[in-house]
Structure 1
Amino acid sequence: MTSNVSYAVSERPLGTPRHVRIVTIGAGASGINMIRTLREKLSDYEHVVYDKNPSVGGTWYENRYPGCRCDIPAHNYQFSWKKNPAWSTFFAKAEEIERYLCDICRESDLGTSIKTSHVVKSAIWSEEESLWHLKVENTESKELFDDFCHFLLDATGILNKWKWPDIPGLNNFKGDLLHTANWPKDFEYSGKRVAVIGNGSSGVQLVPAIQKDVKELVHFVRSPLWVTPPPQQMLFAMKSESILEDIKMEGDKYTPEQIEKFASDPEYYLKYMKIVEEQINNRFPGTIKDSDIARYTKQALTQYMKATLKGDEKLIKALVPDFAVGCRRLTPAIGYLESLSAENVRVVTDTITEVGEHTIKTSTREEIEIDVLICATGFDVSFCPRFPIIGREGNLQDLWKDALPRAYMSSSVPGFPNYFMFLGPNAPIGHGSVFTITEHVATYIANIILKCQTESILSLAPSTEALDDFYEHINAFMPRTAWASTCRSWFKNGKEDGPVTALHPGSRIHWFHMLEKFRGEDFVYTREKKNRFSYLGNGFSTKELGDGDPSWYLGTLKSTAK
């Protein structure tokens, strides 16, 4: 056996972390939670979160249109580590969710890691330095400055880059032109002739919220959609658990007595949360195409929608789908179907051919006079980054503009070392609460960073082979689901028959399980030293040094337990 004279033992104990700088882009739920997760999991690091808005909250700061709320039950749309028994309604309104996120930042001192009104303009990977070099703009001072990081975390999300519809003459409109995702503060629509384009998640909330106050409401609908009964109605009708019989509500609002009960009895509150959570998670079997439950669900929803539309054949034809339940995102759409039967509401399915100065022209040559034009037309869901991200394989903007967006386990991309995303392509964004989803992603990423810190790894990225295998599975699985059925959906980037780019091939629990362990064998590494075991160091472990318990493996003494 020959010795390697060029190899020298490191004098660092096993487990010693290398100092790293981490930059997160976005201070919505994902970015806020990442601050806390890193504080719990890592040591010897710097972390800054840049957000383009003047305040935290992401989606819930930006969206403020009338009726805006989450369509996931409020008591499940929260962090597991910051439960809020004081939610006022079954579905929390946007301003209440925004306040919840702001309160967390203040109470947990997370704001010290956040720089608002800062936009990342570009990110370029340096192979020689194993660093990301960033250009960042302070939008208040207009200063453009350089920054760097060892790990770049993209928490910008998917539903935040709103877009105008591609309609001739749209910019020629002389009335009030609005987008639901850019709603002007204190905008007055009362008594006006209003047109609303779109019946996605925003449109179905906006229409019933403004219908009673406008003079006329013309609702342009391009595609039908499945509308579910209010989930609390479905949940409480089942009475499968005795706790549900005791829940006190007035409409969709919890009574003060009920809120106090949640706050004073944590065990009771947790039981309620878990029952609701399990009902949400149990939706997945209904997305399996041609299953008995899928057929039953379609029949039941058809009956519900026809009854709610009062048997109006014109509305039924326009709104009740033929496609599979779940092909488009399911929504409770509280009050939406009922509002369409109001005397001041008209549903139009004709194609808009042109927008005039005060009119909308349709394919039937009709000209409809309006005062306000509201576009509830959604977001850019292509996953294409807003700014250049240049890695080993070029600019991610170009790669995903010219080809389908693909990410390993929705979080990383071959050729882009130390770059991780929240809710990237094929994440479970349509499966339930994003809060618990982002907690799992944050833990997954933090564990990877810790591995790099303590095992002398400078950079890592998934291999192309691993990504190809992952998408071979996705493409084989998706035809089993309603998501791949023929309908226009943002799950398929607004296409009718395109591949499903937005959803995970499995249940929410399936995705949580998948992320429990990091598959290091799927990654390509660059190390500090050629020898992969150099991190073993000088023979000592950090577990036996310092103030820790060096015999932790025997158990913890009560007198020393924290």
Structure 2
Amino acid sequence: MTRRKVTLYASNHFLAGPKVANTKPNHIEREPYTVVEQPLGTAKHVRIVGIGAGASGLNMIRTLRRNLKNYEHVVYEKNSKVGGTWFENRYPGCRCDVPSHNYQFSWRPNPEWSNFFSPAEEIEKYLDRICEEEHMADVIKTRHRVTGAWWDESRGLWDLSVQNLETGEGFRDHANFIIDASGILNNWKWPDIPNLESFQGELIHTANWPKDFDYANKTVAVIGNGSSGIQVVPAILPAVKRLYHFIRTPTWILPPRIMAMMMMDTPAKSVLSQLGLDKKENFSAAQIEKFKNDPDLYKKFVKTIELDLNSAFAVLLNGGRVHQFATAKVIEWMTACLGGDEKLCKALIPTYPLGCRRMTPAPGYLEALRSPTTEVITEGIAGIVKEGIQLESGEIIKLDAIICATGFDTSFTPRFPLVGRDGNVQDKFRRETPRSYMSCALSGVPNYFTIMGPNAPIGHGSVFTLTEHIARYITRAIHKCQVEGIKALCPSDAAVADFSEHIAAFMPRTSWAASCSSWFKGGKADGPVTALHPGSRIHFSIC
């Protein structure tokens, strides 16, 4: 005999059971008791709606399939195919800044990565292959966008509005659970520059790169020196007639990762010295064959690089010996690459702490800034005119094309109305600092999970294996609801407050919280760090 549970406190600070709006805090309306004619622990049927079919969304499909029974699952993906950010970002020079053999799922190793840092095309093909070989396409509806979601307390269901982007038609759906895997670096934005639309040349955003864009022999501006800007500049420089690079603030450019590992005498040094790599960090065909034919060698390589990445967290701790040593070495490296040019060193080498902004290895970037074809401009932009960019001094830089490497909306505000028990989350996140429980759930928003939500470990190394941890956690929560008759589940206000208190106490210890313009802080120079987990990668994994 079983009965519906309505006041159970689930593990890990989750509050289970229906909470009815406009009732006294300690009063919960109960449904009439009935005997359920099924064995204790039988999994009830649930419908799960996923949003996004990038790496996190694909991993979620597999995790649910391997751990749940008696459920249905549909994933709405706005693009024409899977792959997420690795499908969308096609700009020249685009690649991952995490070593290839660690930027993969633990359950799908790939010994055939061509480079130490994978180009975007290879990562996209890797995800395509997983989708095909794991037969995931049957649950994915491409060219579909979720446009709204409303929680119905009495039914314990989400009502959703969805738009078919092929036909423009909208329809309604429902779900017991929503899993939002739409990603952080996915919703690209134009820079806030006056009269951007007045430019009569080609206006490009790196995250929406046209396949037919020909920049050869053109005068081109690249606005922004974040991770996209520092990759696209050296990639297009050999072909353009002239390149103007607009930068607002200096940024830390790391030495090549392999060089740093060898220089720092890390555990990876002995393994790397035995590998077949060329000057551009491409693996030789013979080395790839060794990885394919010698599983022990491959595993040792992957584990050693992972150990090195995990040990790098100390670099981010303010005032520590590791932080000081790394800062001195990076300054030495950047100065050498800039040829000691006083103007360039002043423009490029930051005075804020190492790690305040995203640190990125950028082969060829600093050298490209010394090219006679390149001009670095730090003067403010007054606005856009039809011929190009007007500086604050009044000077007009005439251009054929403007490339905006200006990033994404990292505010964590949902892209559609998400109405939970306390109203629209969009309104709340616009008023207040976004808060979550361990980045994957929101108080007052039942049966809703995010992968890489507020204060996620997005800057802590490979997100592939981190999303595996998150997916397992979400799956266990859904399974608990299935077998224990739990209608609705979300983190308590107290649990979210505890996590927020830790964030506020821990972040000032790190360079992430220093004063510099960073997407870690929603594009602001100062303020709370909303994008990163308050601790190391290992800390997140065991929490």
TM-score (norm 1): 0.89
Q: Which residue of 2 aligns with 1:246?
A: 274
Within 5 A, what are the aligned runs for 1:129-528?
129-237=155-263, 238=265, 240=267, 242-251=270-279, 252-514=281-543
1:245 partner letter = S
2:387 partner letter = H
2:103 is aligned with 1:77: yes
1:249 partner letter = L
Q: Is the 8 A contact 1:64 1:181 kept in 2?
A: yes
Q: 1:404-443: per-residue Cα shift (whole Å, max 9, x none)?
A: 1111111111110000000000001011011011111100
The total of aligned residue pairs comes to: 509
Q: Distance in 1 between matches of 2:35 and 2:295?
A: 52
SS in structure 1 at match of 2:225: coil
- Of residues 9-18 and 31-40 in structure 1, the stretch that sits farther from structure 2 once superposed is 9-18
SS in structure 1 at match of 2:254: coil
Q: 1:182-232: per-residue Cα shift (whole Å, max 9, x none)?
A: 000031000000000000010000000001110000000001111111112
Q: Is the 8 A contact 1:88 1:253 kept in 2?
A: yes
2:90 is aligned with 1:64: yes
Query: Unmatched 5+ residue regions in structure 1?
Result: 1-5, 515-562
SS in structure 1 at match of 2:179: strand
Q: Is the 8 A contact 1:227 1:330 kept in 2?
A: yes
Q: Distance in 2 between matches of 1:166 and 1:225?
A: 20
1:213 partner letter = A
Q: Is the 8 A contact 2:184 2:452 kept in 1?
A: yes
SS in structure 2 at match of 1:72: coil
Provide the aligned C-alpha RMSD in A: 1.1
SS in structure 2 at match of 1:254: coil
Q: Which residue of 1 aligns with 2:9?
A: none
Q: Is the 8 A contact 2:258 2:272 kept in 1?
A: no
Q: Is the 8 A contact 2:266 2:308 kept in 1?
A: no
Give runs of ≥4 in structure 1 deviating > 6 Å. Answer: none
- Of residues 142-151 and 200-209 in structure 1, the stretch that sits farther from structure 2 once superposed is 142-151
SS in structure 2 at match of 1:17: coil
Displacement, 1:350? Answer: 0.3
Q: Which residue of 2 aligns with 1:522?
A: none
Kindly tell me: are residues 250 and 388 of structure 1, through their superposed partners in 2, closer, same or farther at Cα, counting changes over 3 Å? same
Q: Distance in 1 between matches of 2:34 and 2:45?
A: 21
Q: Distance in 2 between matches of 1:101 and 1:279?
A: 25
Q: Which has the larger radius of gyration?
A: 1
Query: Unmatched 5+ residue regions in structure 2?
Result: 1-31
Q: Is the 8 A contact 2:91 2:206 kept in 1?
A: yes
Q: Which residue of 2 aligns with 1:93?
A: 119
Q: Is the 8 A contact 2:316 2:355 kept in 1?
A: yes
Q: 1:93-136: per-residue Cα shift (whole Å, max 9, x none)?
A: 11110000000000110111111000111111100110001111
SS in structure 2 at match of 1:295: helix
